[in-house]
Amino acid sequence: MSNMKVPKEQQTAYERWEMASFADANQSLTGTRGNGSSPQNKSPAVETEQIAQIFESARKEAYSKGMQEGFAVGMANARERGQEDQQSFLTLMNAFSHALEQSDEQIADDVLSLALDIAKAMLKVKLSVDTQALLPVVLDAIHYLPHIQKPARILVHRDDMQLLREYMADEIANDHWQIHEDSNIERGGCQVETGANQVDATNEMRWKRITEALAQNNDWLLT
């Protein structure tokens, strides 16, 4: 009897309230079963999250690979550029060293040429001031002769003839030297001649021997 459905208008107030509460509970349960908390409704969200993770992992891997490749290419370019710069630097240093060597050689030649010019000027002054400067020149020239054969002559400047007669009278008398004037010979120089030999001890020739020994071309006649 209690399971029989009683018309609403015949129900008591309590029965009507009880039925309404049961209906609300049933509706609430039905709504709970129908929301997105069921396993079937969760699948799209899970798949979206997994796809996002896959894309993020692929992005990180691509980024890392790109960084490695870029670093390798950059290092290769840097090494190539470094080698080029090193070669350019070596070429520049070699050119600078060569230029410096040439400059040093040129400076050395200029200094030597200047020293010879100064020495030549001082020697010319000495010959013009020291009237006895000829005596050791004549003695050295005679010394170079292997032996003296007649006729034996000493050729000197006119102004030096009397000097020889005064200071070399004994040598001239003993070896029968003849003193002759030669206008082409400067004061301070001489030429010694015998029957078989000749010694050129002029100022120009003696200076030429000195400059040739120094690998220089410095003419005595040029001031």
Domain range for 56: 49-129
Of the residues 114, 129, 144, which one is the last residue of a structural domain? 129
In a domain, 22, yes or no: no
Say whether both 151 and 180 belong to one domain: yes
Of the residues 74, 97, 129, which one is the last residue of a structural domain? 129
Which amino acid does the sequence have at 193?
A: E
Average pLDDT, the chain: 76
Please choose, from the candidates 147, 146, 164, the residue with its C-alpha nearest in 3D space to the C-alpha of residue 155. 164
In a domain, 29, yes or no: no
Say whether both 105 and 146 belong to one domain: no
In a domain, 21, yes or no: no
In a domain, 18, yes or no: no
In a domain, 218, yes or no: no
Please choose, from the candidates 180, 184, 164, 183, the residue with its C-alpha nearest in 3D space to the C-alpha of residue 172. 164
Q: What is the mean pLDDT of residues 209-221?
A: 88
10-44 tens-digit pLDDT = 555 545 545 554 455 444 444 444 444 444 454 56
In a domain, 136, yes or no: yes
Say whether both 139 and 82 belong to one domain: no
Number of domains in the chain: 2
pLDDT score of 208 more than 70: yes
Say whether both 141 and 180 belong to one domain: yes
Residue 139 C-alpha from the chain's centroid? 56
Say whether both 71 and 97 belong to one domain: yes
Say whether both 71 and 122 belong to one domain: yes
Say whether both 138 and 208 belong to one domain: yes
pLDDT band at 50 (very low <50, low <70, confident <90, very high): confident
Say whether both 135 and 196 belong to one domain: yes
Task: Give the residue with greater pLDDT, 78 vs 152.
Answer: 152
* Separation CA 32–CA 20 (nearest Å): 18
pLDDT score of 154 more than 60: yes
* Separation CA 98–CA 172 (nearest Å): 59
pLDDT score of 1 more than 50: no
Beta bridge partners of 199: 192
67-123 tens-digit pLDDT = 777 767 766 776 777 677 777 767 766 776 776 677 777 788 888 888 888 888 888
* Residue in this structure with the two tokens 């960084």, named with its chain if needed: 67
Say whether both 57 and 119 belong to one domain: yes
* Separation CA 132–CA 84 (nearest Å): 70
Give the CATH number for residue 200: 3.30.2320.30
In a domain, 27, yes or no: no
In a domain, 57, yes or no: yes
Of the residues 86, 105, 129, which one is the last residue of a structural domain? 129
Say whether both 175 and 194 belong to one domain: yes
**HEC string for the chain:** CCCCCCCHHHCCHHHHHHHHHHHHHHHHHHHHHHCCCCHHHHHHHHHHHHHHHHHHHHHHHHHHHHHHHHHHHHHHHHHHHHHHHHHHHHHHHHHHHHHHHHHHHHHHHHHHHHHHHHHHHHHHHHHHHCHHHHHHHHHHHHHCCCCCCCCEEEEECHHHHHHHHHHCHHHHHHHCEEEEECCCCCCCCEEEECCCCEEEECHHHHHHHHHHHCCCCCCCCCC
Say whether both 165 and 92 belong to one domain: no
In angstroms, the Cα distances linking 174 to 79, 177, 213 are 89, 8, 36
Say whether both 125 and 171 belong to one domain: no
In angstroms, the Cα distances linking 70 to 55, 61, 196 are 22, 14, 92
